[in-house]
Amino acid sequence: MWNASCNVCHMGILRLSHVDITVPDLELAAAYYTQVIGMTITERTDDRIFFKCWDERDHHSLAVRYHPRLGLDRFAFKVEHDDDLDHYESRLEAVGTTVDRVADGEEVGQGESIRFKLPSGQEMELVRDVHKVGHALPLVNPRPYPDGLIGIAPPRMDHLLLHAEEVPEVAKFFIEHLDFRLTEQLLDAGGHQAIAFLERSHQPHDVAFAHGPNGAIHHFSYWLDDWDHVRRAADILAYNGISIDIGPTRHGLTRGNTIYFFDPMGTRNEVFTGGYRPDPDFPTITWTDERAGRAVFYYEGVLNERFQKVHS
Amino acid sequence: MNRPTHEGILRLSHAAIRVPDLELAAAYYTEVVGLIETDRTPDQVYLKAWDEHQHHSIILESAPTYGLQYLGFKVSDRSELDRLAKRVEDASTPITRHGPGELAIGSGDIVRFMAPSGHVIDLEYGQKQVGSALPLVNPPPAPQDLVGMHPPRIDHIFLMCEDVDGIHDFFTEVLEFRLTEQIKADDGHQLAVFLERTHTAHDIAFVTGPNGAFHHVAFWVDEWGDLRDGADMCAYHGVNLDVSPMRHGATRGCGLYFFDPAGNRNELFTGGYRFDPDDKPTTWTEAEMGRAIFFYEGKVNTRWLEVHS
């Protein structure tokens, strides 16, 4: 967006910052997310653990909180400037959305933020100042990646998929009030939007919504650089006895290569690579109902029941 | 359905490359690189990569010599073009303004100026959209009739200039680029700078050399395996392969360098990382410049330092 006061342009919402989930077993979560995924723990409190991927410089991209049931506490997007928080707060309040301010010091690992409920029931957060802890490489003469990486070791978090009873309503909310762009959609037999893919970071999606119960999370996804790394991830998942949902396979939507799998407590994870770089004037791609199978699983051509029913 | 944005310069849009033999160059860029011809005049051939929606990302210009005629960046909105034009003028750099179709077939509104490095730069809004090679309803992952290396899109451009510190300041202060990496001489001046607008490791880079010189233009490929296929393609077609598949220290990307028939250097590039606006740049010291450019060999070959167009 354009900030008239300083005559420079800035991006507003940049990218997915972190996903905050609940887990029934903190120690099992710590073991899985460090040893199998290969994230590092940056901070622990009595009931929470904060993780980051090796190439991430911010304090955390995943936070888990102890709770007897699985679920999503919230997810956060990163904005470029402090005044982006004021900007989106006033726009959201103007359309009747209640916005809560979280003061600097109230939340672990980050400064001031705003939180609000989506029409689909999930809590979303916008934050500018996630504390910089640095990535795992020096800033002078670095090697391409650190030695001794464990597990899948993705460089960063990529996107998440949520459920909504009314996908068009929440997609419209993201486009009109949060300046996201619609890259792809799946229409059901009645022409109703069943899946919507939305981006801010010039990739096929930063967040997506699929028809399902309000408040639910379908999965969050880690970036890998290469199809070969997807194969290696499958090897690591199999070796560790992780429940693989599907893959390695390809999505028709986003054109990415993927594996879906479940963490030991039941939250679906994904590793993802590929896709494309959409400009802001990118024309939306539409998938029709009779190709819904290929849209989601391009090789199999059919949706499995797990994809449509299992969420957390 | 998508709304206007105000993001300034979005990305590298196109490069106009001089070639003495237009037919030979057109054959190379369509059959070996695998770009798609979208238009031509007696003196020009317009090309795009298969996944690009714009009319052109490479323009071949018939000329008695080789090198870079000009390069273009895509700007998000017309109002952003006006705002950036004023910033360039305020930096004592004369601009010219051009309407749609005036400078090239399919071109949009353009602000043209010469950067302090001696390169002609276009800021463009509204280049004609011709669509990618895929349908917008139920598309397959890639078209089935691709030839050559067929990269999906242009990625970055690498230029030379005498005063790298000066061009760094111009790009960051006037054009709002961010520095991701730099190679610093022992005396503190910048030998090379890597600059981005797309949150990637670089959209444009400069290394010390003659003003106006063109080091290479790079096309994106998705995988390391695509670099092997690219090298196979070079060998099969007798293309002058400069450097086999390798890793860069700076950008952490992997690449393959080769020359078009006119002697302009091309690259296939993959990898790298995503850079936030508040991330700190990486610095390479003069002693480690070899690893910065060629991470495996650890030294820069003379061709890389001296051969340009």
The two tokens of residue A276 are: 């494309």
Query: Strand pairing partners for B208?
Result: B161
Cα separations in angstroms, B35 against B56, B148, B156, B260 = 10, 8, 16, 13
Cα separations in angstroms, B80 against A273, B66, B121, B236 = 32, 33, 16, 45
Of B292, B302, B307, B299, nearest in space to B216 by CA? B307
Contacts of A152 (CB under 8 A, 6+ apart): A36, A37, A38, A222, A224, A232, A233, A236, A237, A271
Looking at residue B80, its amino acid is: E
Q: Helix and strand tally (H, E) in chain B?
A: 6, 17
Q: Which of B55, B56, B150, B156 is catalytic?
A: B156
Interface check for B249 against chain A (CB to CB < 8 A): the answer is: yes
What does DSSP say about strands B120-125 and B253-259: parallel, antiparallel, or unpaired? unpaired
Q: What is the pLDDT of residue B5?
A: 65
Coil, helix or strand for B183? strand
Stretch A17-26: mean pLDDT: 98
> ipTM value of the model?
0.88
Q: How close does chain A come to B88, measured CA to CA in Å?
A: 13
| B177 within 8 A of B198, measured Cβ to Cβ | no
Q: Which of residues 154-193 of A touch B (CB under 8 A)?
A: 155-156, 175-176, 179, 181-182
Using a pLDDT cut of 70, give the percent of chain B over it: 98
- Kind and range of the H or E run holding B44: strand B44-48
Q: Is the pLDDT of residue A74 over 70?
A: yes
Distance between CA atoms of residues A95 and A109, nearest Å: 30
Q: What is the pLDDT of residue B286?
A: 96
What end-to-end distance do the CA atoms of chain B give, in Å?
43
Q: Is the pLDDT of residue A4 over 80?
A: no
A246-263: b or e for each residue (b if 16 or more CB lie within 10 Å)?
A: bbbebbbbbbbbbbbbbb
Stretch A127-151: mean pLDDT: 95
Interface check for A280 against chain B (CB to CB < 8 A): the answer is: yes
CB pair distance less than 8 Å for B11 and A155: no
Stretch A144-162: mean pLDDT: 97
Contacts of A172 (CB under 8 A, 6+ apart): none
Q: Is the pTM of this model over 0.95?
A: no
- Residue to test with chain A: of B252, B270, B275, B285, most A Cβ within 10 A: B252
Q: Is the pLDDT of residue B204 over 80?
A: yes
Q: Which of B46, B181, B257, B308 is catalytic?
A: B257
Of A183, A281, A279, nearest in space to B10 by CA? A279
Transcribe A161-217 into DSSP letters: EEEESSHHHHHHHHHHHH--EEEEEEE-TTS-EEEEEEESSSSS-SEEEEES-TT-E
Provide the mean pLDDT of chain B. 96
The two tokens of residue A35 are: 């040893």
Q: Which of residues 175-194 of B touch A (CB under 8 A)?
A: 176
Stretch B37-61: mean pLDDT: 98
Q: Is the pLDDT of residue A190 over 50?
A: yes
Kindly indicate the confidence band of residue A10, based on its pLDDT and cuts at 50, 70 and 90. low
Q: Is the pLDDT of residue B297 over 70?
A: yes
Question: Which residue among A10, A181, A288 places its CB closest to the CB of B2?
Answer: A181
Question: Which residue among B7, B224, B252 places its CB closest to the CB of A11?
Answer: B7
| A279 within 8 A of B10, measured Cβ to Cβ | yes
Stretch B261-284: mean pLDDT: 97
Q: What is the pLDDT of residue B230?
A: 97
Of A20, A116, A18, A106, nearest in space to A65 by CA? A20
The two tokens of residue A150 are: 């464990």
Question: Which residue among A9, A10, A139 places its CB closest to the CB of B283?
Answer: A139
Distance between CA atoms of residues A152 and A232, nearest Å: 8
Contact list in B for residue A156 (CB cut-off 8 A) is 273-274
User: For residue A238, which phi and psi values (nearest 5 degrees)?
Assistant: -65, -45
Interface check for A288 against chain B (CB to CB < 8 A): the answer is: yes
Cis peptide before A248 (omega within 30 of 0): yes
Kindly indicate the confidence band of residue B301, based on its pLDDT and cuts at 50, 70 and 90. confident
Distance between CA atoms of residues A262 and A268, nearest Å: 4
- Which residues of A are designated catalytic? 159, 205, 219, 251, 260, 270
Q: How close does chain B come to A79, measured CA to CA in Å?
A: 10
Cα separations in angstroms, B104 against A32, A259, A270, B71, B94 = 56, 44, 44, 12, 21
In total, chain A counts a number of residues equal to: 312
Per-residue pLDDT of B125-177, as tens digits, reads 999 999 999 999 999 999 999 999 999 999 999 999 999 999 999 999 999 99
- Residue to test with chain B: of A281, A282, A289, A296, most B Cβ within 10 A: A281
Domain B9-125 and domain B153-306 have a common topology: yes
Q: Which of B55, B56, B119, B202 is catalytic?
A: B202
Interface check for A274 against chain B (CB to CB < 8 A): the answer is: yes
Q: Is the pLDDT of residue A6 over 60?
A: no
CA A111 from centre of chain: 20
Q: What is the pLDDT of residue A308?
A: 86
Read off the DSSP letter of residue B20: S
Question: In this structure, which topology does domain B9-125 adopt according to CATH?
Answer: 2,3-Dihydroxybiphenyl 1,2-Dioxygenase; domain 1 (3.10.180)
CB pair distance less than 8 Å for A287 and B76: no
Taken in order of first residue, the domains within chain A and their CATH numbers are 9-127 (3.10.180.10), 156-309 (3.10.180.10)
Provide the mean pLDDT of chain A. 95
Interface check for B76 against chain A (CB to CB < 8 A): the answer is: yes
Name the residue with tokens 């690009």: B52
> For residue A58, what is the nearest residue in chain B, using CA coordinates?
B279
Angle at A133 between CA A128 and CA A137, to 5 degrees: 125
Q: What is the pLDDT of residue A295?
A: 95
Is position B98 annotated as part of the catalytic site?
Answer: no
Domain B153-306 CATH assignment equals 3.10.180.10: yes
Question: Which residue among B137, B141, B282 places its CB closest to the CB of A298?
Answer: B141
B201-230: b or e for each residue (b if 16 or more CB lie within 10 Å)?
A: bbbbbbbbbeebbbbbbbbbbbbbebbebb
Domain boundaries, chain B: 9-125, 153-306
Q: What is the pLDDT of residue A1?
A: 47
Query: Strand pairing partners for A163?
Result: A210
Using a pLDDT cut of 90, give the percent of chain A over it: 94
Is position B237 annotated as part of the catalytic site?
Answer: no
Interface check for A44 against chain B (CB to CB < 8 A): the answer is: no
What end-to-end distance do the CA atoms of chain A give, in Å?
34
Strand order in the sheet with A156-164: A243-250, A256-262, A268-274, A217-223, A156-164, A207-211, A193-199, A181-187, A285-287
